[in-house]
Structure 1
Amino acid sequence: MSTDDMWSIGELAEHAGVTVKTVRFYSDRGLLPEAGRSGGGHRRYGPEALDRLRLIRSLRTLDLPVPDVGRVLDQEDALEDLVAAQLRELGSRMAALRWREAALQLLQDCTPEERADRLRLIGAVGTPPSTAALARFWRSWLPPRLPARLTTAIVDQAVPQPPGDPTPEQVLAFARLHAFASGPCPDTGRPVARRPEPDYRPDVLYDGLIEAYALAAPAVRSAHPPREGEALDCFVSAHARARGTHDTPAFRRALGSQLASELRIDDYWRLTAVVTGSPDPTPGATDAWLCAALSGRG
């Protein structure tokens, strides 16, 4: 290519509609190779540099860092991965902004008497919010001898994910859940029927409870009164087998009395239902339905 076919740095900048400083910046970082030098040592660029410079500018408007722009220029398949990464990052930032907007709306709409308490609750939750405190609560609440697969399954089901586009009510419910889970969890608060004991098999209990909850869920979702049936039989059987005994009328009476006297965390499940906004019953709601069926409170 003759020098007559090449552009100076100023000419390239003029053709591209950018400043000389911009061209020099990308040249110095190796993104815009020179085609040669003039007799006086000045940079010269071929016409193909214009297309490359326009591509660089397009990539930069997508907020791609300069090193990533270099990867796209050098690797044909790099753009797809980088775009996907940018979309994930942008999604996280937008979720954080939507959460912040709902939190501000919550503060704006409350009474002056409520504002201090709500501000305290919201201030304890990060943006975007983390579910780590809720997961820690459940891992401390569950029996220590529970197999990892069951612990993971229960935590996944019990810990609600913050909605991507929350309402102010969902922000408040999640903040209250976070405060609940971050408070003390004394061993005396853990259900007696689910504490680790020498002959107690928590894996048998929780495997059975998961099945019983699935069987009872349609009735709970449809707001049917608690009643006997397959779901209750499965529920009682899980408790009996975990203790190495059988489902008998006497066992049902004893289990009903024991479960009725235990501390429940119904507020946790009520708040969880608000956070998820799902019509499906929470495990807590299903458990309460089965306990009511066991005691004959239909």
Structure 2
Amino acid sequence: MDDPRYSIGELSRRTGLTVKAIRFYSDRGIVVPSGRTASGHRRYDVDALARLELVRTLRELGLDLATIRKVVENEAALPDVAAAHMRALEAQIQVLRLRHAVLKAVTRRESTPEEITLMHELANLTEDERRRLIGEFLDATFRDLEHPGFAGIARSMTPELPESPAAEQVEAWVELAELTRDPDFRALMRRLAERQDNDLRRHHPIADIRDAVAPALGSGIHPSSPEAARIVAALTARHRPDDLLAWLDLVDDSRRERYLELLAVINGWAAPDSLAPAAHWLSQALRASDQRCAP
């Protein structure tokens, strides 16, 4: 029968720990020799082997030495220690996701040092700070516009980064937050809101545009064709051409759609339908109609 007592070298081979590490744990009383040879070399039993394997596992999981001592000496319940360490790891994972998102954005956009600093700050905002940033943006967009529909619109434009976001959600948040801080984008969204406020008091053109233009796009009708002219005539019977063109120029701005795309990623929604093709087609059709009507 094999002698159940192991030398440090044998423990090293069985556990994968270095001889130096085993001596370290032994000197600190985490694993205790079961005896010594006549020449004074330490020997360990199967309990020491099992304890060392547990120590190795806990160290690989990132637990500190003091906590490991409490676990192996039954001063702390392993499930409680695991739960606390899991929470700490979750926090670390969140930080790593934020850093990964920033680095990915830096790589993709060839950012300047100033932009990198800004992205890092945006990624590390607390939930309250994120809400405050978005609240200020939406307030600047809808301030003093009293139509009751704007409260629901503002809610639908609010990003809600989940507690444990995926890397793409963090990256989307950083880009969206940058957009909300951009004065030009804020001015664009304010003009859109003011235009929509006027339209809501009468009849908003978006439903008419989708109903009229979507079939034309699907059928491949050219914006300068007679069929397009008939669609334009039907729309301009309900909406002034100048108003339509002004609204379309705002809607056709790619930053507006980008905000909605990023919002969908952050909130876990389906990708929004793009209004850009219909807006672009109708803008061309309106201008072609103006040219035909010009003397």
TM-score, scaled to structure 1: 0.43
Give 1 or 2: higher helix fraction. Answer: 2
- Which protein is bigger by CA-based radius of gyration? 2
